[in-house]
A and B are shown apart, each in its own frame.
Chain A
Amino acid sequence: MLTKRIIPCLDVDQGRVVKGIKFKNIKDAGDPTELAVFYNKEGADELVFLDITASHEKRKTIVDVVKKVSSNVFIPLTVGGGIQNSIDMGLMLEAGADKVSVNTAAVNNPKLINICSKQFGSQCVVAAIDVKKINNNKWLVYTHGGRTETEIDAFEWVKEVQERGAGEILLTSMDRDGSHEGYDNELLYKVNTIVSIPVIASGGAGKLQHFLDALIKGKADAVLAASTFHYGKFTIKETKDFLKKNNINIRK
Chain B
Amino acid sequence: MPEISIINTKSANFHSVKKAIDLYNPDTLVTSSQQEIKNSKGIIIPGVSSTDTVLQNLSQLKLDKVILDFYNSGKPILCICVGMQILFERSEEGQIEGLGILKGEVKKIPQKNSNEKEFKVPHMGWNQVEIVKKDKIFHDIKDNSEFYFVHSYHCVPEDQNLIISSTEYSVSMCSGIKINNLYAFQFHPEKSSFDGLKIYKNFSELVSGLK
Contact = CB atoms under 8 A, between A and B. Distances in A.
A120 B19 contact: no
Nearest to A1: B168
Given A2-B169, A45-B125, A196-B121, A76 B191 contact: yes
Main SS at interface, chain B = mixed
A75 B148 contact: yes
A95 interface: yes
Contacts of A124: 48
Contact of A123 (B16, B118, B122, B190): B122
Interface in B191-208: 191-194, 196-197
A96 B152 CA distance: 22
B15 A95 contact: yes
A71 interface: yes
A51 interface: no
Q: Which of B120, B126, B151 has the most CB of A within 10 A?
A: B126
A168 B152 CA distance: 13
Nearest to A168: B124
A247 B111 CA distance: 23
B145 interface: yes
B15 A123 contact: no
A197 interface: yes
Given A2-B169, A123-B124, A75 B191 contact: yes
A56 B89 CA distance: 48
A167 B15 CA distance: 21
Given A3-B146, A93-B13, A121 B193 contact: no
A63 to B, nearest CB: 12
A123 B150 contact: yes
B7 interface: no
Interface in B154-211: 168-169, 190-194, 196-197
A221 interface: yes
B19 A71 contact: yes
Contacts of B77: none
Contacts of B38: none
Interface in B110-163: 111, 118, 120-128, 145-146, 148-152
Chain A interface size, under 10 / 10 to 19 / 20 to 34 / 35 or more: 20 to 34
A210 to B, nearest CB: 20
A74 B125 contact: no
Given A40-B193, A75-B191, A2 B126 contact: yes
A24 interface: no
Contacts, number: 92
B111 A196 contact: yes
A74 B192 contact: yes
A3 B187 CA distance: 14
Contacts of B150: 76, 98, 123, 167
Contacts of B50: 121
A111 to B, nearest CB: 19
Contacts of A167: 122, 124, 150
Contacts of B16: 70, 74, 96, 98
B20 interface: yes
Given A3-B146, A74-B193, A94 B13 contact: yes
Nearest to B22: A71
A113 B193 CA distance: 29
A85 interface: no
Contacts of A76: 148, 150, 191
B72 interface: no
B59 interface: no
11 contacts: A1-B127, A3-B126, A74-B194, A94-B13, A96-B15, A123-B122, A167-B122, A168-B124, A197-B120, A197-B122, A198-B124
Given A1-B169, A5-B126, 18 more contacts: A1-B128, A2-B126, A3-B126, A70-B15, A74-B20, A74-B190, A74-B194, A75-B193, A76-B191, A94-B13, A98-B150, A120-B49, A168-B124, A196-B120, A196-B121, A197-B120, A198-B124, A221-B124
Interface of A: 1-5, 40, 45, 67, 70-71, 74-76, 93-98, 120-124, 167-168, 196-198, 221-222, 251-252
Q: Which 3 A-B pairs have the closest CB atoms?
A: A96-B15, A251-B146, A121-B49
